[in-house]
Structure 1
């Protein structure tokens, strides 16, 4: 089936457009204000989607609470930090490259929080990944290249904190949301995102919104293409057991985001950015690549039944 073969690549392509949309939407609305509109519409559409598809809602208030808290981290703090940083001048390409920190941060923190051990290969991957991100980002941040426009340190730091937030949210979800209907969980997560984004928008922004066709298009793509379309594809991949294929293509998100930023906004792809991205992607691959023993263990019937 054509969709089955193309779904992982389409999912990653959709996901990579998030940074371009963030930069484009900043021309017409304050970033956090735009996210408030996006989350509000996503909540309404997800409620309708859950009703139309017969999704089961959590029966325990603790599960509801865990879903909301995970949404605070996964959407509210993560996207809020990324979109605010891009609105403050961080190039979409640089922000997309920083996104490569997320799986590296997860691998680095997991031993402390859930007792996972890192192999020599994974430790090498972590070192390469962080060195690659540093090579890609620091020249712009420190204005080492005289021909480049310097970027303020604070927005870059906030962008990195956004990666820390999504890392915490990923580990939180792994620990507390192993069960439950992912459709209703997703709806509740956007509620959590809205809870944290509204006060931040009120405190940090003027709530600027310029209603025009361009803003509506950006909002429609953010809600339908990203919040709904990408999630629908993820559900499809989960149902068909193809999540691993999508995960392997996630490594292409940083270079895809950088390429799109260059095409649509003329952002310069410098050699440090290109080389740093290649090194970081290699590091992420090594960090998340299963060893032969882990792959063999994953094929055992007992482990397969536990998935």
Structure 2
């Protein structure tokens, strides 16, 4: 028991390090690639890895589940891969990482409003607190970095909403499907669209491969796709199985700390007011994810 307890903390810390580093990898990759090239390439590399590991799982997906697997793939993987890259063309990676922490809050909000999943008063308060923190973070960031377009924060917030819809879809409609099968099925659906996007971005122009920064950026995307997407999915599913969804979701608290550290090391600015906004968001996330016995249906 003690061994398993120690192991889950190791998984949590490794996941936090991997996901917290993803944002700086996106930033570095954007030095040589466009946001659309990055999103498409990340999707393709992740898909190839998952196909190698779990292609046999595809046949376990029943016909009636494919619709939800497809929606899950588009909302949970395809569009966010582009939206996060687009956002980081204008906003610091550290701020993007903090905004990503809204996923648990939006999961609670959408679960109650759309999927009729019961929520507690504490969770509702957590959502409200979280959005107050988000407002502080964005407004202060826009004031601190007038050269950055903080309207692009909308791409991150939209992605967190899509992630939240995806989580609720999996919980409600794909409970019978194995996590690896869902992941592989997702990329079966979005692989060809990603390839088409990459083709139309002129990525395969041979002259591009003579540019050092272009090749270096591809290296960052390979690392991002393998560790930050494919491997992280497997690790997270394992963590949920060995602990609880509530414990696993606490990766949300540690991940921004890692991303902030990378951002500051890379010369990004982050004010005390933004720090307060970040703390408020994390308090909201904590309240929204805390277990309670008294629940009400919204």
TM-score w.r.t. length of structure 2:
0.85
- Which residue in 1 is equivalent to 2:77? 75
The equivalent residue for 1:250 is: 252
Q: Name structure 2 gaps, 5 residues minimum.
A: none
Matched, 1:23 2:24: no
User: Using a 3 Å threshold, how does the CA distance of structure 1 residues 84 and 193 change in structure 2: closer, same or farther?
Assistant: farther
Partner of 2:112: 111
Is residue 187 from structure 1 mapped to residue 184 from structure 2 by the alignment?
A: yes
Say whether 1:170 aligns with 2:167. Answer: yes
Contact 1:11/1:246 (8 A) holds in 2: no
Give 2:239's match in structure 1, choosing from 234, 237, 240.
237
Cα distance in 1 for partners of 2:156, 2:233 equals 23
| Structure 2 match to 1:298 | none
2:146, 2:114 → 1: CA distance? Answer: 39
1:35 shift after superposition: 2.3
CA distance in 1 between counterparts of 2:194 and 2:88 reads 16
Q: Deviations over 1:24-83 (max 9, x none)?
A: 1001111221222222222222121125xx646335233233212201001111221111
Aligned with residue 12 of structure 1, among 12, 16, 19: 16
- Tell me, which stretches of 5 or more residues in structure 1 are unaligned? 295-307
Superposed, 1:292-307 pairs within 5 Å as none
- The 1-side partners of 2:174 and 2:96 are apart by 28
Partner Cα distance (1:255, 1:138) in 2: 20
Q: 1:201 to 1:41 in 2, by over 3 A?
A: closer
Distance 1:8 1:109, change over 3 A: same
The normalised TM-score by structure 1 is: 0.83
Q: CA RMSD in A?
A: 2.5
Q: Cα offset for 1:279? A: 0.7
Kept after mapping to 2: 8 A contact 1:28/1:215: yes
Q: Provide the rounded CA distance (Å) in 1 between the counterparts of 2:243 and 2:59.
A: 23
How many angstroms apart in 1 are the aligned matches of 2:61 and 2:123? 39
Q: Are 1:65 and 2:89 an aligned pair?
A: no
Match of 2:37 among 13, 26, 33: 33
Which shows bigger deviation, 219-228 or 275-284? 219-228
CA contact (8 A) 1:125 1:285 kept: yes
Is residue 284 of structure 2 the alignment partner of residue 287 of structure 1?
no
2:86 corresponds to which of 79, 84, 90:
84
The answer to whether the 8 Å contact 1:77/1:196 transfers is: no
Q: Residues 98-130 of structure 1: CA distance to partner in whole angstroms, max 9, x if unpaired?
A: 112211112112212222343332222112111
Which residue does 1:303 correspond to in 2? Answer: none
Does the 8 Å CA contact 2:54/2:180 hold for their aligned counterparts?
yes
For residue 286 of structure 1, give the secondary structure of its aligned residue in structure 2. helix
Tell me by how many angstroms 1:282 deviates: 0.4
The structure 2 residue matched to 1:151, chosen from 148, 153, 158, is: 148
Aligned to 2:122: 121
Q: Secondary structure at the match of 2:60?
A: coil
CA distance in 1, matches of 2:186, 2:253: 25
